[in-house]
Amino acid sequence: MSKASGGKFRCTQCALEVPFEHFGRRPPFGEGVVFLEDAYTRRDPFSSKATPLFLGGVCKICSKTVCRMQSCSIFYSSRFCVECASQNIEAFPAEVQKDVVIPAP
């Protein structure tokens, strides 16, 4: 489940590129912080203590790597890229629907 560090995290939606350190639910750095999805994380460069910073995850439907920006993906019990979320918009409750960004064709 948990993959050791390595390489660059690259969002397939917005092309953001950031080196990540860990992929998985329980990053080795950070005290007690766990993620409810397989997460690309790295140590928070802005924090004085070692704490994980979530960069993005994997779309449950298309398995593409996406960052956490709302214009790229949405989390609702699982991560969905904006493409898949908008194609399946009816599956989400209204509270979530209003946050789903419809990507420009």
Partner 1 sequence: MVAPFDWSAYQATLDNLFHREGDAYPAGSNEYEELKDFVARLAKFRAAQAKRGVEESTSADAEAADRLGIPAKFDTRYRVNVGLITDHKRRAAQHRGGCSLPGERVEEYKQMLVLYEDFRQKRQFAKLLKLQTDRAALPISSFAAEITAAVESSQAVVIAGDTGCGKSTQLPQLLMTSGFKQIAVTQPRRIAAVSLCRRVAFETLNEYGDEIAYKIRFDSTRGRGTKVVFLTEGVLLREMVGDPTLKQYEVLVVDEVHERHLSTDLLLGLLKGILAERPDLRVILMSATIDLARYSAYFGNAPVVQVPGRLYPITVEYLPQQPDDEKAQSSAREGGKRRERRGAQRIDARPYLKILERIDQQFPAEQRGDMLVFLSGMQEMTTVADALRPYAAHTRRWVVLLLHSALSVEEQDKVFDIAPDGVRKCVLSTNIAETSVTIDGIRFVVDSGRVKEMTHDVAGSLTQSLQEGWISRASAEQRAGRAGRTGPGHCFRLYSQTDFASFPEFTTPEIRRVGLEQLVLQILALGGGDPRSFDFLDPPPPESLEAAVRSLVSHEAVRAAPSYLEGGREHLVLTPLGEVLSGLPVDVPLGKMLVLGSLFHLSGPVVAMAAALSVQSPFIRLPDGEEGDEARVARQSLRSEHGDAFTLAATFGRWIAIKRGRGGDDSKASGKWCKRHGLEEQRLYEMAKLQRQFQDLLTESGLLKKARGGGMGGGELRRDPLKRKREQQQRRDAQAHLHELQRKRDRDRGRKVLKLSEPLETEPEPEPEPDPDDGAPPEPLDIRSLELKLTVDLEALAEATGRTLGRNDVNLLKVIIASGLYPNVAVPDPNNSQRRESEALFHTRHVADARLHPASVLVGAEVPPTAREVLVYTTLLETHKLYVTNLVRLPALPALLLTGQRIHTTPDCRRLLVDDWLLLRIKEAPDVAQHVVKTACELRASVSKLLRIRLRSHGPAAKESAAAAAAADAPDWVQELVESVRSDEEVYSDDLADRLAQLLDTTVSYTCERIQPQHVPGQFARSKPPNPDRDSAAAPLLRAARAALSEGDQSAPEEGVQVAPFLRWGSLEPFESPFVGHSVHMRKHWQCPVCGEKLLMNLNEIEEHLEAHEGESKKEMFERAAERADHGKGGPDGVRGLAKQAFNGGEESESLEGEGVRVPVQQAGETSGEVENRKTMGDDVGMQAGSAEPEKRETVSAVQRKRYVCEQCDSKVYLFTPPQVLQHKRTHK
The answer to whether residues 39 and 53 touch, using CB atoms and an 8 Å cutoff, is: no
At 37, list the tokens. Answer: 């999805």
Q: Which residues contact 96 (CB under 8 A, 6 or more apart)?
A: 74, 76
Total interface residues for partner 1 by CB under 8 A: 45
Whole-number Å distance between alpha carbons of 43 and 104: 33
- The verdict on 101 binding partner 1 (CB under 8 A) reads no
- The verdict on 27 binding partner 1 (CB under 8 A) reads no
Q: Whole-number minimum distance, CB 80 to partner 1, in Å?
A: 8
3-state secondary structure of 96: helix
Applying the rule CB under 8 A, the residues between 34 and 93 that interact with partner 1 are: 34-37, 39, 42-49, 51, 53-55, 57, 60-61, 68-69, 75-80, 88, 90-93
Residue 68, H or E segment = none
Binding site for partner 1 (CB under 8 A): 16, 18-19, 21, 30-37, 39, 42-49, 51, 53-55, 57, 60-61, 68-69, 75-80, 88, 90-97
